[in-house]
Structure 1
Amino acid sequence: MISFFAETAKSFKYKPKNIHNYQVQIFKSFLSSILLIVTTPAYSLAQVNTSSSMHTSYKITVNSHQDGEVNPDSFLTFREAILFINGELNLNQLSPAEKNQIETLPNNQPSIIAFNLPNPETRIQLQTILPTISRPNLIIDGTTQPGYNPATTVKNAIPNVEGSIAKPLISITPAANKEIFRGLTITADNITIRGLSLYGFTSRHQTTATTPPADIFIASASTNFAPRPIANNSNSAVNSQPPRNVIIEHNWLGITPDEKMPDTTSAFGVSVFNGIDTIIRNNRISHHDGSGIITGINAEGTQIKENMIMGNGIAGMPDAIRLEGKVNRTLIQGNLMCGNDGSGIFLFKPDGAVKIQHNQIKYNGRRLRRAAIYLMGNDHQVLNNEISHQTAAGVVVTAFPNGGSFTNGASIGNVIENNQFANLEGLSIDLNTRGHVDVQDFQRGDGKNPRRTSPNRRLDTGNAAINAPEFLSREFFLINNQVAIDGTTEPNSQVHIYQVRHHALHRIITLVKADDKGKFTAKFTGLQPGDIISAIATHRDFGTSEPADYAMIRSLENSPNTINLNPDLNQPLTPDTIPNCLTQLQPPEPPQPTPELPPELPPEPPQPIRIRVPTNIHFALDRDFISQESGKVLDQIADVLKQYPTIVIELQGHTDSRASDAYNMDLARRRARNARNYLIKQGIAPERMTIRSFGERKLKTPGRDRLEHARNRRVEAIFFDTRGIDIILEEQEQDLQIERKK
């Protein structure tokens, strides 16, 4: 848990001078401060009224977008509706007009908070944090707002998934100049949140490092640390159990109803800090400083299904979904994870097994180069996913010290099968070795493992270092349209033979079983001369292996092999398609015979794109914010990207030569990140941009005076056209920021 709080503190730009002392301080303060998680400045949960309203179901219609003090007046606010449902506000405290907005329902039905706000005043701007939702069996339903149209949808682009996410009309956000660190806090069972837009919930202060900010926060009333004080008028005990069966559906989190990145971005989307059997489905989750979905102490039985999780991690934890704590029986299915700054899914020392299936994970790793799916722990299943355009490996399995035994800490039994990979800067499957402790090894993967026979491999490498299959030849011949291959692998394992494209496991050709000596053979059709194949093995005791070394399909008349079968997978990829989070990855077409055609003259090469746009911006000494002049330059870059949708960019951050290398790498990364975030606010999709930090390693000038230092403090935009067309650009120095003489 200490690692969670320390990283959370980083997410909110708080930098303790001594991180070790800070972690100890955080842990000591956690027991006392956790009581604040489920309280509000004005309404303590200890004030629950135990009148008959606690046992009656109601439909309450909110008819005012106002927020503030609770008063009997002509309108019923959202805050008053929650207080009434909780039993903290009774009928005697309401005006006749407010009572008219409340009707009694049969007791076997859940209570409902509905909306009838006057159009266009459908944005609720909060003055303070809302009361915790502490009474069970409640639906907060934004789809009841007149004018809500389920047909105004953004389609989920996942194959075989019918889900769509309608634009909400009701939005909830802090008022101008108000800092509120949570949108909705849930501590009760059977709560449904539907059809809302929540955004702008964050905190930059150290005090919230123990109580993570989020659009929606789910935890037990006591969070299993201490009982909450009981009201004097109540004889009931506080429920210290995690809330069960919370449903979060059809919401837009972190994004405005007009599909904009808000000026103040939320810290996290949904935080399941302590909840069981939570369902998060059909939500659009974007533009968070940290992860779109994050877990804490206990998130057993969580289902994350058919969500669009795009463009998250822009300032803190970079992953679309980050799971830790108890996560047994968690299902991640049918989601689109695209344009996030780190991994699509990151499992950090979880307790329990997770199933990850039928997801589309692409164009992630925009800021930090992490694997698309990063696994720690045992017995996870990664099945039938489409993983592409990742700035690292496809799936990484990492061993980690946790007792050092075969069954405790080695990350074993993880099955990774029937997935389709494309365009990766790493292996499709990478089993990390515990001896490789560099951050980049754990985030990106440590590369191909050598074949090993030592018993120690079972203890120190992901999936017990199951060896990759080995073909008996690096080339196999096509005879009568059929290929016969043979090889060796782990005895009694299942072997998937793959066709390789873009140096990744792209299409499964066939499945065979190795015998008790590890030998396997296969015959199949459907390949052409020049095609490349690989294979992975899965053993029931160990899990799935890394890919086999590539082999080529040849014809007997084929010319000598000129294709590189040992590519450098860590080289940055050249863009080959227009990045688009909502474009479905098409399945590979079966090979077709090529008819003989008369030779044609080669087409003329395309003319270069001539764009008169500056490619760099500059920064003040030791600063990372965008100046007004630099903003004008970025506006020009945004206009070009809107005009040419085939262009993508990499934003490269630089510093001058002063300060340490580590400090300058971080400063350069923040400069590139802030330039990227500025462009996102101008409407540029995050999947079209990556960022890279060079610190002081690529100085533009020697740095002999203040002018040369100013030229080195820059972010350069490197333009690529996905059609391979050259682009002619120009530099500028209108925004140079030269430091004053001391």
Structure 2
Amino acid sequence: MSRKIAKLIDPKPQIIIKAILNFAAISAKNFPKPIVNPVNLLLLALTGWFIPNLATFSQTSTNPPLRLTVNSNQDIIQTDGNLTLREAISIVNGELTLESLSAAERNNISPLTSGEDNRAKIEFSLPPNNTIIELNSLLPALAVPVVIDGTTQPGYAQEDNNINPVPVPIPDNIPAAPIRGLSLLKQGETNFCAPQIRPTPTPIIPAPVPTPVPAPIRGLGFLKQLVSQGSTISNFPIPQPVVIIKPTPGVEVFRGFTVASDNVRIRGLSIHGFSSRRRGATANIPPADIFIGDAKDTATLGEKGRARNPSNNPPKNILIDCNWLGVDRLGNPISQLPNANFSGEKQVPTGHKKPGHFQIYRTDDRLPTRSAFGVYVFNSLGTTIRNNLIANHDGSGIITSARANNTLITENILFANGFGGMPDAIRLEGNIDRTRILSNLIRDNAGSGIYFFKSQGSTEIKQNQITNNGRQFEQAAIYLMGSDHQIVNNQISEQPGPGIVVAAYPNSDRNVILGNSFANLQGLSIDLVSQNNTGFHAFLTGDGPNPKMRSLQRRRQAGNFGIDAPVFVSSEFFLNPENGSVTLEGTTKPGATVEIYRVNENSSPRGPLSEAIANTVADEEGKFSLTLTNLKAGERISAIANDSESGTSEPAVNTVIKDLP
């Protein structure tokens, strides 16, 4: 029995128990009547150990997990009548004991009810006029499973909460596509950003399917302008957070939350202003609104924040949802976009800047400090970033580093990021295998919407609206490195560069690019870079149409193994006067699938690929032919080829549909 008891407690009391039992055995052997009952002695010892350590034991084991209600916006740890966010995190981590709290503070702590998620809960009940938490220093890392839930703050998602929901501008020149897009909820799905109210469960609320509306909106610099314009997606469920977390004015805090444990959720908060300008860019410790990585990772960073030896125990099952990152709840002008209506704007000469655009001198002292990055997935196995507004960061809104396997980025708005650093809305580095980027609105960012840099692993990029990016740098909307990516059913428009570029170096093959629609590009819809063009410019905007690849060596040196674009047998095809049909013929790689596109613009000899309308398969000689009945005289047609061994080609030279003379 003594062994069973010893196994239930830590090594220090085990030593005490062993000594007590040895003493009892000796006394029983040497005295006819033991001088002490060993059972009583054991109970006495256990009582003496458990009583002073009860609070610590209950917190380090987190059994049962606790609900902690933050009711003060102060950033202190002291015995008073209120519970602060810093105190709540310290209690959950086991760094602050319950016995060190006042009775009034303990009134804000209770065990979770049966049936709830077996994680600690940090909730909020701040005074209505004091919902801004200004940090004086870095918060403790989230070292145990916990939910930090801003949706519990009274007033969250109320009709009078200024901006609820967030309207989203949609350009009018993107053709409709049979995709889910930004309809965030299907029938029967949960409204992820609904306020969490105990004990009533969150209701299931279906959302309407969004439809494009007229009048593209450009140059939005104020969050309130997102509301005042009529171009919206109805009921976009990212309500305005009530609780704001930011640094104290004049104090540099380089990170909002540090996630260092499995099973952490952060939701319903406004987090902004976290940077490290005084530390020298991103020298060693990456600044961000939310940083995800094992606690050991921050101590092993090399030059420019890259991992030397990332931890082999990265956080898993992380959920970041329903937050406004980089955005103030009041809609203050946290940053300005180029050519916005702003009294402080001046032209600034900048290399690789989009012609005719501006950088902004921020002369308005109301502008708060912007965060360096939004979500920095430094080292994680399974992070979900869902239903967030991520805007106005100096660098990327979302960035990965050493390891970001099984990352899901879905149903977010990424807006106006990258004007003071890493220019891409989403930048993917490191091991990103099985990462998915689905149904996001990515617009008005400084560089690319999505940029891969020497990453490993395959990804899916589907059903996103990527528009009006490259506001400061001429870059591709999506720049791919690596192999076996799937880029499907995206809507890409208003880009001062190509739509999708596939790098030649490192080797990038078998990338499938199908069903996407493109509009108003300054480059090809799909551009496969050749290793003959590996200069700086090619890593931003590609290198234009490739000549026909006539050797294996040339193919090996190009993106997607240099698969040739299809070739139509004629620059024009004629409608059958009897039934209005037209037969298209051409050649491509034998056995390849040919996808036919309608071209709605006369801006390029190759595309842009406006709308996929049909597909067919080439025969063993590489010939293809198909008859269509949905084309009219004057329309332009292009095509791409897709092959399982190579991937997808660049667009074919356009051909024109005509009536017989």
TM-score range, shorter-chain basis? 0.7 to 0.9
Equivalence for 2:411: 306
Deviations 1:302-343 (Å, cap 9, x if unpaired)? 000000000000111100100010100100000000000001
Secondary structure of the residue aligned to 2:166 is strand
Deviations 1:58-101 (Å, cap 9, x if unpaired)? 00000001113x11001111100000000000111101110000
Q: Paired residue for 2:322, among 236, 247, 250? A: 250
Say whether the 8 Å CA contact 1:492–1:515 is kept in structure 2.
Answer: yes
Alpha-carbon distance change, 239 to 272 in structure 1, aligned in 2, over 3 angstroms:
closer
Q: Paired residue for 2:295, among 221, 240, 245? A: 221
Equivalence for 2:104: 97
Partners of 2:315 and 2:372 lie apart in 1 by 22
Equivalence for 1:431: 528
Partners of 1:241 and 1:371 lie apart in 2 by 35
Partners of 1:83 and 1:433 lie apart in 2 by 54
Q: Does 1:482 pair with 2:581? A: yes
Partners of 2:92 and 2:575 lie apart in 1 by 72
Secondary structure of the residue aligned to 2:83 is coil
Say whether the 8 Å CA contact 2:56–2:97 is kept in structure 1.
Answer: no
Q: Does 1:495 pair with 2:594? A: yes
- Offset at residue 170 of structure 1 (A): 0.3
Q: Does 1:393 pair with 2:498? A: yes
Deviations 1:247-298 (Å, cap 9, x if unpaired)? 0000000010022314211000000000111000000000000000000100
TM-score (normalizing by structure 2): 0.72
Letter in 1 for 2:438: Q
Partners of 1:150 and 1:185 lie apart in 2 by 29
Q: Paired residue for 1:269, among 353, 374, 383? A: 374
Partners of 2:439 and 2:311 lie apart in 1 by 34
Secondary structure of the residue aligned to 1:364 is coil
Matches within 5 A, 1:205-244: 205-206=279-280, 208-223=282-297, 241-244=313-316
Q: Paired residue for 2:644, among 527, 531, 540? A: 540
Equivalence for 1:114: 123
Partners of 2:281 and 2:457 lie apart in 1 by 30
Secondary structure of the residue aligned to 1:275 is strand
- Offset at residue 475 of structure 1 (A): 0.4
Partners of 1:331 and 1:487 lie apart in 2 by 35
- Offset at residue 224 of structure 1 (A): 9.4
Q: Does 1:172 pair with 2:245? A: yes
Deviations 1:461-495 (Å, cap 9, x if unpaired)? 10000000000000000113111110000110100
| Fraction of identical pairs, as percent | 48
Matches within 5 A, 1:286-365: 286-365=391-470
Say whether the 8 Å CA contact 2:56–2:98 is kept in structure 1.
Answer: no
- Offset at residue 164 of structure 1 (A): 1.9
Deviations 1:3-49 (Å, cap 9, x if unpaired)? xxxxxxxxxxxxxxxxxxxxxxxxxxxxxxxxxxxxxxxxxxxxxx9
Say whether the 8 Å CA contact 1:62–1:117 is kept in structure 2.
Answer: yes
- Offset at residue 160 of structure 1 (A): 3.9
Q: Does 1:62 pair with 2:61? A: no
Partners of 2:476 and 2:257 lie apart in 1 by 32
Equivalence for 2:352: none
Runs of 5+ consecutive residues of structure 2 not aligned to the other structure: 1-54, 171-180, 186-235, 302-309, 335-366
Partners of 1:160 and 1:126 lie apart in 2 by 36
Larger radius of gyration: 2
Deviations 1:444-472 (Å, cap 9, x if unpaired)? 11100011111112321100000000000
Alpha-carbon distance change, 421 to 174 in structure 1, aligned in 2, over 3 angstroms:
same
Alpha-carbon distance change, 252 to 430 in structure 1, aligned in 2, over 3 angstroms:
same
Alpha-carbon distance change, 386 to 77 in structure 1, aligned in 2, over 3 angstroms:
same
RMSD across aligned positions (CA): 1.8
Say whether the 8 Å CA contact 1:394–1:426 is kept in structure 2.
Answer: yes
Say whether the 8 Å CA contact 1:324–1:350 is kept in structure 2.
Answer: yes
- Offset at residue 105 of structure 1 (A): 1.9
Partners of 1:180 and 1:225 lie apart in 2 by 18
Partners of 1:541 and 1:437 lie apart in 2 by 23
Alpha-carbon distance change, 207 to 316 in structure 1, aligned in 2, over 3 angstroms:
closer
Deviations 1:337-376 (Å, cap 9, x if unpaired)? 0000001100111110010000000000000111111000
Say whether the 8 Å CA contact 2:297–2:311 is kept in structure 1.
Answer: no
Equivalence for 1:531: 635
Q: Paired residue for 1:471, among 557, 565, 568? A: 568
Q: Does 1:196 pair with 2:202? A: no
Say whether the 8 Å CA contact 1:222–1:240 is kept in structure 2.
Answer: no
Partners of 1:457 and 1:348 lie apart in 2 by 23
- Offset at residue 206 of structure 1 (A): 2.8
Letter in 1 for 2:150: G
Equivalence for 2:184: 161
Deviations 1:562-612 (Å, cap 9, x if unpaired)? xxxxxxxxxxxxxxxxxxxxxxxxxxxxxxxxxxxxxxxxxxxxxxxxxxx
Letter in 2 for 1:148: Y
Partners of 1:207 and 1:432 lie apart in 2 by 31
Letter in 2 for 1:98: E
Partners of 1:226 and 1:376 lie apart in 2 by 26
Letter in 1 for 2:319: I
Secondary structure of the residue aligned to 2:69 is strand
Alpha-carbon distance change, 459 to 120 in structure 1, aligned in 2, over 3 angstroms:
same
Alpha-carbon distance change, 311 to 268 in structure 1, aligned in 2, over 3 angstroms:
same
Matches within 5 A, 1:448-467: 448-467=545-564
Letter in 2 for 1:466: I
- Offset at residue 437 of structure 1 (A): 2.2
Partners of 1:207 and 1:351 lie apart in 2 by 26
Q: Does 1:443 pair with 2:552? A: no
Secondary structure of the residue aligned to 2:121 is strand
- Offset at residue 223 of structure 1 (A): 2.2
- Offset at residue 239 of structure 1 (A): 8.4
- Offset at residue 194 of structure 1 (A): 0.5
Partners of 2:85 and 2:287 lie apart in 1 by 20
Matches within 5 A, 1:598-637: none
Letter in 2 for 1:165: I
- Offset at residue 51 of structure 1 (A): 2.4
Matches within 5 A, 1:681-696: none
Matches within 5 A, 1:691-702: none
Say whether the 8 Å CA contact 2:426–2:449 is kept in structure 1.
Answer: yes
Runs of 5+ consecutive residues of structure 1 not aligned to the other structure: 1-48, 228-237, 401-408, 558-742
Deviations 1:195-237 (Å, cap 9, x if unpaired)? 000000001123841211000000012129769xxxxxxxxxx
Equivalence for 1:740: none
Letter in 2 for 1:123: I
Secondary structure of the residue aligned to 2:140 is coil
Alpha-carbon distance change, 471 to 245 in structure 1, aligned in 2, over 3 angstroms:
same
Deviations 1:92-132 (Å, cap 9, x if unpaired)? 11011100000012586211000000012100011111111
Equivalence for 2:133: 124
Equivalence for 1:522: 626
Deviations 1:147-185 (Å, cap 9, x if unpaired)? 111662115664543352111000000011000100000
Equivalence for 2:30: none
Say whether the 8 Å CA contact 2:636–2:657 is kept in structure 1.
Answer: yes
Deviates more, 1:97-106 or 1:322-331: 97-106
Say whether the 8 Å CA contact 1:358–1:384 is kept in structure 2.
Answer: yes
TM-score (normalizing by structure 1): 0.64
Deviations 1:614-671 (Å, cap 9, x if unpaired)? xxxxxxxxxxxxxxxxxxxxxxxxxxxxxxxxxxxxxxxxxxxxxxxxxxxxxxxxxx
Deviates more, 1:171-180 or 1:430-439: 430-439
Alpha-carbon distance change, 324 to 78 in structure 1, aligned in 2, over 3 angstroms:
same
Letter in 1 for 2:155: G
Count of matched residue positions in the alignment of Structure 1 and Structure 2: 489
